[in-house]
Amino acid sequence: MDRKKLEIAYSIGVLIAIPLIVVVNTVILTQSTNKAFDIELRRKADLANSIISQSSIQLIQDKDYDKLQENLDALESSQPSLMHSAVIIKSNEDLKIVAHSSSAPVELTPNAEMEANLVYNRKGSVATFIDTYDRKSNPAQAWNVMTPVIDEKKDVIAVVSTSLLTVDAQEVINNAYQKSFIVLIISIILIVGLLFRHFRLVGYIRLLAKQRELNQTMNDFLSVATHELKAPTTIIKGYLSNVVEGDFGPVKPKIKEQIDVALSQTDRLNSLVQDLLNVSRVDQGRIEYKFTSVDTTKILNTIIENYRPIAEEKGLKLIFSPVDNLPFVNADEGRVQEVFTNLIDNAIKYTKNGSVNVQQIQKKDTIIINIRDTGFGISLEAKQRLFQRFYRVKTSETETISGTGLGLWIIKQYIEAMNGSIDVETMEGVGSNFIVKLQIK
């Protein structure tokens, strides 16, 4: 049996077993409650008989049956659940009732005679669950208990018979049954609901496992593919550069133009390969961070100087406002350089007119770097997805700009791994401000 069938069998088993356990538990609980009430009722009836017996010994010995009957009537009137009280004596092997309450039968039934003889012989109580009637002549059930009356010589001189109605106890038991049934129904509904969620959860877990397997396969593919692509693109770029530089002889202008285009596209392909390789490394947790004291001012100065010719070629002002004696941050220098290179490159790339302004601010234990441009800006909808992998803002102004949609996602992973944060303030048609926060060493 495969794993999927085992999971289905397990879920069905749970679906059947848990409600069944609840049902069995409810039945056992109500039965034990019923049994406990029966024992308690029998004990109370036996106790009542014992009291009657102790108080009736002298009256029985004196044969004062009228007084004995008055006592039984008084006891029955004070105890609504106590009925059919009677005192039975044996004379010449015959049993007869010598005193009884108003509700007690005058004659002994064959069963009552048998039980009374048993009490005489065993000198112990006998209890029987009987069907009877209450004082309103409604059908009822009761425990009939016969208890011996024993004198000083340890002889049985009479038997006291009393019936204790179970009406009150039965009401309590019925209420307990009803409540248990309601709890049972609610429990089954909840359990069934939980089990349906369990089925869904099993499905989600299976999908998650497949997703992880798929992600791992994709990561492995990316890792292999990028490594395999990196070597040939590097070789292609090297040979093209040699040709352009004249290592193999003079190159005609028209041919040089074509080779320059090929070199540009090779650089683009190298950038894509590098981005894919970084994505694979981030997903597999293979990025190593060497935390040191990093001078953000020095890094930004270098990047600004490298990009100034590119900005001037587009007619843009590239402005940097360094802060003197700015503390160093605790980060990986190489990753910090990648982050600012990407952001400044993007700012120039997505700005047609105006400027790109880079500012530094110290706020408590944080260095805040603002990279503000007067570019195309980003819509609210696009802003919400901006840092997702493979997402690019698609407008008429950006459709001709090359990119993979991976750069911002990658640098966000770098920044967060260095205990920093990145955010963006933007307005469509006005420009964007990328805000990077890094912790001071």
Residues 39 and 113 in one domain: yes
> Where among 252, 282, 312 does a domain terminate?
282
Residue with the larger pLDDT of the pair 304 and 253 = 304
Please give the average per-residue pLDDT across 93-120, as a whole number. Answer: 82
Which of 139, 142, 111, 133 lies closest to 44 in space, CA to CA?
142
Please report whether residue 356 resides in a domain.
yes
Query: What is the band of 438 on the pLDDT scale with cuts at 50, 70, 90?
Result: very high
Tokens at residue 67, please? 């007084």
Residues 252 and 309 in one domain: no
Residues 277 and 322 in one domain: no
Q: Fill in the DSSP letter of residue 440.
A: B
Residues 422 and 333 in one domain: yes
Residues 433 and 395 in one domain: yes
> Where among 237, 252, 282 does a domain terminate?
282
Residue 416 burial (C-beta neighbours within 10 Å; 0-12, 13-18, 19+): exposed
Please report whether residue 397 resides in a domain.
yes
Residues 22 and 110 in one domain: yes
Please report whether residue 114 resides in a domain.
yes
> Residue written as tokens 């009836």?
45
Residues 433 and 304 in one domain: yes
Residue with the larger pLDDT of the pair 305 and 78 = 305
Residues 55 and 31 in one domain: yes
CATH label of the domain that carries residue 273: 1.10.287
CA-CA distance, 161 to 148, in Å (whole number)?
Answer: 9
Contact 161, 116 (CB under 8 A): yes
**DSSP annotation string for 88-111:** EEEETTEEEEEEE-TTS-SS--HH
User: Looking at the predicted structure, is the pLDDT value of residue 202 above 80?
Assistant: no
- 261, containing H or E segment: helix 253-283
CATH label of the domain that carries residue 64: 3.30.450.20
pLDDT in tens, 187-197: 777 777 776 77
- Of these ranges, 204-218, 257-271, 276-290, 307-321, the one predicted with the greatest mean pLDDT is 307-321
Residue with the larger pLDDT of the pair 59 and 34 = 59
pLDDT in tens, 280-323: 777 777 788 999 999 999 999 999 999 999 999 999 999 998 88
Q: Fill in the DSSP letter of residue 401.
A: S
* Tally of structural domains, the chain: 3
Residues 121 and 190 in one domain: no
Q: What pLDDT sits at residue 401? A: 77
CATH label of the domain that carries residue 387: 3.30.565.10
CA-CA distance, 60 to 159, in Å (whole number)?
Answer: 10
Quote the percentage of the chain above a pLDDT of 90: 25
CA-CA distance, 39 to 295, in Å (whole number)?
Answer: 87
SS3 426: strand
Question: What is the rounded average pLDDT for all residues in the chain?
Answer: 81
Please report whether residue 170 resides in a domain.
no
Q: What pLDDT sits at residue 259? A: 82
> Where among 237, 260, 282 does a domain terminate?
282
Contact 435, 425 (CB under 8 A): yes
The residues, any chain, with a CB within 8 Å of residue 204's CB and separated by 6 or more, are none
Residues 257 and 335 in one domain: no
Please report whether residue 423 resides in a domain.
yes
Containing domain of residue 234, as a range? 175-282
Please give the average per-residue pLDDT across 381-387, as a whole number. Answer: 87
Please give the average per-residue pLDDT across 175-181, as a whole number. Answer: 70
pLDDT in tens, 222-246: 667 666 677 777 788 787 888 878 7
Q: What pLDDT sits at residue 234? A: 79
Contact 340, 417 (CB under 8 A): no
Residues 140 and 25 in one domain: yes
Q: What pLDDT sits at residue 414? A: 93
Residues 79 and 199 in one domain: no
The residues, any chain, with a CB within 8 Å of residue 157's CB and separated by 6 or more, are 57, 60, 61, 89, 149, 150, 151
